[in-house]
Structure 1
């Protein structure tokens, strides 16, 4: 019997395993991973007290054992869990008994037209590599979705026409408001130049593990980490730099391979060109293309949990309390597979992002260890404030607190400062106190705004001037 069993080789599962190994080096730990590659978080840098950035490095699963001697890594999928008998049944027939179990199985992409060879969902490194290979021969790609992966893809693709179909009125609406979307819009038609200092936050090691990866080609690996797209060569066959056609407030009505009459575009492609697949949108327009990318979000991966008495949330995630415990005794969950079901803090919200996967995985490890030792534990401070750093259209993007006024009703006010092409600053106030912020560009305001959200200082006397360009806000509230 193992003291701890962790299911999932993504960021949440590996973070949980590493923290467990650190806390209890004498206890036996088993990590079950469906992929031969695991996601390891490296080079963590603190930006503020709550905000951090890190690299995600893909490594062979055996690397976890090399620096965590009490961890045994098993390459298999989980077929089922028998919670009453405290055991896990794997695809290779093993029965693994545990004292505490943490489920970090992540999510699976919601793919339109499942099974169509021209439709690809991007979730892990293998699917990203498949996309890269197919893109090399592509003239036009239709990208469906408006989240982080879709937004990054649309910006990075070159040498190929891109039709971007979104169900919202504005781009990137999962993360930013219509004003910030308008700030980003010029980048859709701008000739993009590769940075002289390429980002290396996600390091791929797929080629070195080709055999192991191909053997498990039908198995989803861990979710992509930060900056996953910027180091992949995403170039099609056309001699165009950046060509994006935006379709707003639409969804895909049908996907078909028969000959169809295509919507006329201001296109560099021969209008008589043959297409292998067509996409019909709900506005009646039809686009011929070589490839469709379905980037419409993920669903928690819970198929193997259905025969137990787990409580599930409306979004399909396993409900967890403030100690990351599920409704089943001795079973915990972390990352994309779970849904936070405690009374959450006023300035925190759950979004299925790599940063939260790391936080949840590490915190779940501490909770399981405390339970084994029968010691009290306080909820991690990271759940006090939502804080996320990413990049869109080559701009630094910082999201803090209720950055889009989530849950604030209509009784709030916004402060804006916009410098075209340089920065976009939005502050959300309620009753004179800062509830959230969006910072795009090199604003250097994240630490100050984080403190103002946490401290809930009444900003009424200052709000008319605090975003004026000549005001040094950092000194103002020092």
Structure 2
């Protein structure tokens, strides 16, 4: 297949910008147009709930230096939103009336925060650098903060709000924070960590009503609030794809094959929106983490140029909360996979493994930093292991 003459990328986040950069690094000589709705050049999202929100940084991590796009002839159009895709005509229309023809199209539109019904306009969400800076400023001025959602964004934001001196209450219907990813035993480690740092919990209850100054819970409790952050997950931005007639998967993402190709000819998708049939798991997988956007962005550049290689990487993410740092690799079902713990939960120095049929499906190292290569190999190479080996053996010897 000859190289396409013009590639259009919708989405100037980590996935889209990495794809554009990788195209140039591979020597692609054709036109590359990137449409981004924000006015900021492409940046990475993890610092928004970590360093920026904590006050340790005032800027995110930029995907590339400011001059990269100009120097590499990437037509980066910021403040420009794609409003229509016509796969038959190979055409993208933007909100300024611009028309962009393409030989290949990449959709990398990311996600948007979910909102709760009836939420007043004063509530905060966290997705952009502007959101993060506004929320950080508000934390320092708001003595009573209510965070709805006990997932990764909710718990990281709780740690940041406590850093800024706020009184913090986290509300969620689940029985433990991070329950769906880590299960009750490891979730309890994070709950205790936050409790020790002054966070209050209202778990097992939902939200009935929010006003600008209070949150009423389904158990009748009324929480006074100077600031409310809604952190109940994100929804993939698939409106363009749906209107264009692309196949949408049951998980809400754009259905793509192992190479990240959609159901429309010459159209690909990567990052949060991509529901990939993953060869490693023999099912569709949609991942909303930083590493997935970065790695799929690099991989899809090859697909856009005619490669036919499947994307095989296992999911990866990291979190920092107070004195706890952790990395998670793989994909586990906490309801059916066996949990094996190596180390000391009480000291928060441990590795948690999830296993199924004698193999490691996921591993999370907490405040242990010398096992990354071994954990990656255990997750990705289908190494047969026993719980006793995971608890006692030198990990590098298992791989």
TM-score over 0.5 (shorter chain): yes
1:397 pairs, out of 309, 326, 351, with 326
Q: Per-residue displacement from partner, 1:262-310 (whole Å, max 9, x unpaired)?
A: xxxxxxxxxxxxxx42211122211111111011111111223333211
Residues 61 and 337 of structure 1: CA distance in aligned 2, closer, same or farther (over 3 Å): farther
Match of 2:220 in 1: 284
Displacement of 1:5: 0.3
Displacement of 1:465: 5.4
Is 1:14–1:38's contact at 8 Å kept on the other side of the alignment? no
Displacement of 1:16: 0.9
1:244 pairs, out of 178, 181, 199, with 199
* Higher share in helix: 2
Structure 1 unmatched runs, 5+: 43-54, 191-241, 257-275, 371-375
Match of 1:167 in 2: 173
Q: Aligned with 2:188: secondary structure?
A: helix
Structure 2 unmatched runs, 5+: 46-58
Alignment partner of 1:91 is 2:95: yes
Q: Aligned with 1:306: secondary structure?
A: helix
Displacement of 1:436: 2.5
Match of 2:106 in 1: 102
Quote the Cα distance in structure 2 between the aligned partners of 1:365 and 1:185: 41
Is 1:142–1:293's contact at 8 Å kept on the other side of the alignment? yes
Residues 415 and 186 of structure 1: CA distance in aligned 2, closer, same or farther (over 3 Å): closer
Q: Per-residue displacement from partner, 1:410-465 (whole Å, max 9, x unpaired)?
A: 6x4634532422313222333333332222111522322332334434334xx435
Quote the Cα distance in structure 2 between the aligned partners of 1:11 and 1:114: 32
**Superposition RMSD on alpha carbons, in Å?**
2.8
Displacement of 1:174: 4.4
Residues 170 and 67 of structure 1: CA distance in aligned 2, closer, same or farther (over 3 Å): farther
Q: Aligned with 1:327: secondary structure?
A: coil
Is 1:118–1:290's contact at 8 Å kept on the other side of the alignment? no
Alignment partner of 1:458 is 2:387: no
Match of 1:82 in 2: 86
Residues 350 and 368 of structure 1: CA distance in aligned 2, closer, same or farther (over 3 Å): same
Displacement of 1:182: 2.2
Displacement of 1:96: 0.7
Match of 1:387 in 2: 316
Displacement of 1:114: 6.2
Q: Per-residue displacement from partner, 1:367-406 (whole Å, max 9, x unpaired)?
A: 0111xxxxx5322442xx3333332343221222234547
Quote the Cα distance in structure 2 between the aligned partners of 1:350 and 1:304: 18
Displacement of 1:12: 0.6
Residues 467 and 59 of structure 1: CA distance in aligned 2, closer, same or farther (over 3 Å): closer
Is 2:174–2:205's contact at 8 Å kept on the other side of the alignment? yes
Is 1:146–1:174's contact at 8 Å kept on the other side of the alignment? no
Displacement of 1:95: 0.6
Alignment partner of 1:15 is 2:18: yes
2:391 pairs, out of 439, 462, 467, with 467
Quote the Cα distance in structure 2 between the aligned partners of 1:27 and 1:401: 36
Match of 1:312 in 2: 248
Larger radius of gyration between Structure 1 and Structure 2: 1
Displacement of 1:2: 5.7
Match of 1:378 in 2: 309
Match of 1:177 in 2: 183
Quote the Cα distance in structure 1 between the aligned partners of 2:177 and 2:205: 12
Match of 1:146 in 2: 150
Instruction: Between 396-405 and 76-85, report the one with greater CA deviation.
Output: 396-405
Quote the Cα distance in structure 1 between the aligned partners of 2:246 and 2:225: 43
Residues 428 and 58 of structure 1: CA distance in aligned 2, closer, same or farther (over 3 Å): closer
| Number of equivalenced pairs | 380
